[in-house]
């Protein structure tokens, strides 16, 4: 067959739930010359990447590195390694990603208790306490639910995990690099993330981190991990001092992550969290000034991702098409029961800027007026 012409991807303003805007130096890093996965220079890059990842995760965990897949591969890594058939696992679900965790845990043959909470609200700790079985091995929750824009305070979950004698597993895909994440201070035993949210690196890697206690649980397994590709016993031997070949690491993606982590530390984590917070506060105020309603109550709201209710009479997909056509801007729609009900706007990583928030408000206003959105519903 005749080959297609070379790609000309257009430049977008990426304000959906991820991938987020990628900094130019990260794109350049992807294009650096490929090295062998056992090249001494690349081994140094791996060590630097791990060290920076630990800083961003707020941990000293030895077992901290990126898995060779996207965020969902990170999720699966945590479950298939920590769970053995028949183990009791409690999954708190208040959105797509909690629901996905429960599904992944079931496929790892866990006995899953799913504590279901209304989508768009933080967890009800009393409910979790009531529904969780004794002797659960694992309590899993989502720190920043990408499908709804809800933030979950990890503190009370650590207490609950202690009561249950369970390991605590946290999804921090949408928080890492954009909100405080402090694995050691919070007592998180296992965490996974993605690169394409607040780290502003293209999708393709899943940073994970396991506490000493979680590593002990791996060592005590009586059955092999069902996934060879995600088996941390094997993957650790490559990322650790043995450098044993397991699979060929995605070299250029790791260059990109190295640069993304570098930028995060260069800015300073506190500074970066503040930037996300300030941009989100202005954006959320601007939305309310436009007369729009937010899905999540203010005290449970994420900074990096905001869910906006679609006003009645507005065609939500048409708004997204309008933004794409007129502003080359991407925002997200709702998932699952929230499909057609909300928009999701991410102001994440290098995309969390005053310019982007103002442009997005302006573009949203124009898209709504295009559908005859009455300006008198706007405040002021």
The footprint of its own copies on residues 269-288 (CB under 8 A) is: none
Enter the tokens of residue 250.
Answer: 């995605």
Question: Which residue lies nearer to its own copies by CB, 72 or 116?
Answer: 72
CA distance 145 to 105: 18
Q: Which of 266, 299, 372, 379 binds its own copies (CB under 8 A)?
A: 266
Residue 298 binds its own copies, judged by CB under 8 A? no
Q: Which of 265, 314, 366, 378 binds its own copies (CB under 8 A)?
A: 265
What does the DSSP 8-state code read for residue 222? S
Question: Which residue lies nearer to its own copies by CB, 22 or 347?
Answer: 22
Question: Which residue lies nearer to its own copies by CB, 24 or 380?
Answer: 24
Do the strands 138-142 and 305-309 form a parallel or antiparallel pair, or are they unpaired?
Answer: unpaired
Residues 6+ apart with CB under 8 A from 1: none
Counting every residue written for the chain, the total comes to 380
Residue 68 binds its own copies, judged by CB under 8 A? yes
Longest dimension (CA), the chain: 67
Q: Which of 172, 232, 296, 335 binds its own copies (CB under 8 A)?
A: 335
CA distance 101 to 103: 5
Q: Are 213 and 187 in contact (CB under 8 A)?
A: no
Residue 255 binds its own copies, judged by CB under 8 A? yes
Question: Which residue lies nearer to its own copies by CB, 10 or 372?
Answer: 10
Q: Are 77 and 208 in contact (CB under 8 A)?
A: yes
Q: How far is the CB of 71 from its own copies (least distance, A)?
A: 7
Q: Which of 127, 212, 216, 245 binds its own copies (CB under 8 A)?
A: 245
Omega of the bond prior to 19 within 30 degrees of 0, cis?
Answer: yes
Query: Could you give the residue ranges of the DSSP H alpha helices within the chain?
Result: 24-30, 40-57, 71-82, 96-107, 125-131, 155-164, 183-186, 212-219, 232-239, 251-267, 269-289, 316-327, 354-369
Scanning 14-22, 208-216, 296-304, 311-319 for contacts with its own copies by CB under 8 A, the matching segment is: 14-22
Q: Are 327 and 364 in contact (CB under 8 A)?
A: no
Q: Which of 43, 62, 72, 240 binds its own copies (CB under 8 A)?
A: 72
Enter the tokens of residue 141.
Answer: 């929750």
Scanning 106-114, 158-166, 302-310, 363-371 for contacts with its own copies by CB under 8 A, the matching segment is: 106-114
Residue 58 binds its own copies, judged by CB under 8 A? no
Q: Which of 136, 142, 150, 261 binds its own copies (CB under 8 A)?
A: 261
> Between residue 115 and residue 174, which ones bind its own copies under the rule CB under 8 A?
none
> Between residue 172 and residue 211, which ones bind its own copies under the rule CB under 8 A?
194, 196, 202-204
> Between residue 23 and residue 52, which ones bind its own copies under the rule CB under 8 A?
25, 27-37, 39-42, 45, 48, 51-52
Q: Which of 121, 184, 187, 226 binds its own copies (CB under 8 A)?
A: 226
Q: How far is the CB of 156 from its own copies (least distance, A)?
A: 28
Question: How many of the chain's residues bind its own copies (CB under 8 A)?
Answer: 84
Q: Are 162 and 115 in contact (CB under 8 A)?
A: no
Residue 237 binds its own copies, judged by CB under 8 A? no
Residue 69 binds its own copies, judged by CB under 8 A? yes
Question: Which residue lies nearer to its own copies by CB, 31 or 374?
Answer: 31
CA torsion 42→44→45→48, rounded to 10°?
Answer: 170
Enter the tokens of residue 40.
Answer: 């001494």
CA torsion 241→243→248→249, rounded to 10°?
Answer: 20
Q: Which of 76, 87, 145, 171 binds its own copies (CB under 8 A)?
A: 76
Scanning 129-137, 211-219, 260-268, 270-278 for contacts with its own copies by CB under 8 A, the matching segment is: 260-268
Within its chain, how far is the Cα of 119 from the centroid? 17
């Amino acid at each position: 067959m005749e080959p297609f012409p070379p790609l000309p991807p257009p430049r977008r303003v990426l304000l959906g739930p991820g991938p987020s805007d990628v900094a130019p130096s990260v794109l350049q890093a992807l294009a650096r010359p490929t090295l062998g996965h056992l090249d001494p220079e690349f081994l140094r890059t791996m060590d630097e990447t791990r060290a920076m990842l630990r800083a961003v995760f707020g941990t000293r965990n030895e077992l901290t590195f990126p898995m060779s897949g996207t965020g969902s591969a990170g999720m699966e890594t945590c479950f298939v390694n920590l769970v053995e058939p028949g183990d009791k696992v409690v999954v708190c679900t208040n959105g797509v990603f909690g629901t996905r965790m429960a599904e992944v845990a079931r496929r790892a043959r866990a006995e899953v208790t799913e504590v279901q909470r209304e989508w768009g609200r933080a967890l009800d700790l009393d409910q979790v306490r009531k529904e969780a079985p004794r002797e659960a091995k694992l309590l899993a929750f989502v720190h920043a639910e990408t499908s709804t824009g809800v933030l979950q305070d990890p503190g009370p979950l650590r207490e609950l995990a202690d009561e249950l004698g369970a390991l605590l597993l946290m999804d921090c895909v949408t928080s890492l690099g954009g909100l405080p994440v402090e694995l050691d201070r919070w007592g998180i035993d296992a965490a996974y993330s993605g690169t394409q949210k607040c780290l502003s690196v293209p999708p393709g890697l899943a940073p994970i981190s396991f506490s000493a206690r979680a590593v002990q649980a791996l060592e005590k397994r009586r059955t092999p991990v069902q996934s060879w590709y995600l088996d941390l016993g094997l993957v650790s031997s490559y990322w650790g001092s043995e450098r044993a070949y397991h699979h060929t690491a995605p070299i250029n993606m790791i260059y990109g992550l190295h640069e993304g982590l570098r930028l995060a530390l260069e800015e300073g984590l506190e500074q970066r969290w503040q930037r996300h917070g300030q941009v989100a506060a202005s954006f959320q105020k601007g939305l309310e000034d436009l007369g729009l309603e937010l899905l999540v109550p203010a005290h449970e709201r994420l900074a990096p991702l905001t869910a906006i209710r679609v006003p009645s009479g507005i065609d939500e997909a048409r708004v997204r098409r309008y933004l794409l056509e007129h502003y080359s801007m991407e925002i997200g729609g709702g998932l699952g029961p929230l499909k057609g009900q909300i928009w999701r706007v991410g102001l994440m990583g290098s995309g969390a800027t005053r310019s982007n928030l103002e442009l997005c408000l302006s573009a949203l206003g124009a898209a709504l007026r295009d559908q005859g959105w009455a300006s008198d519903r706007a405040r002021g």
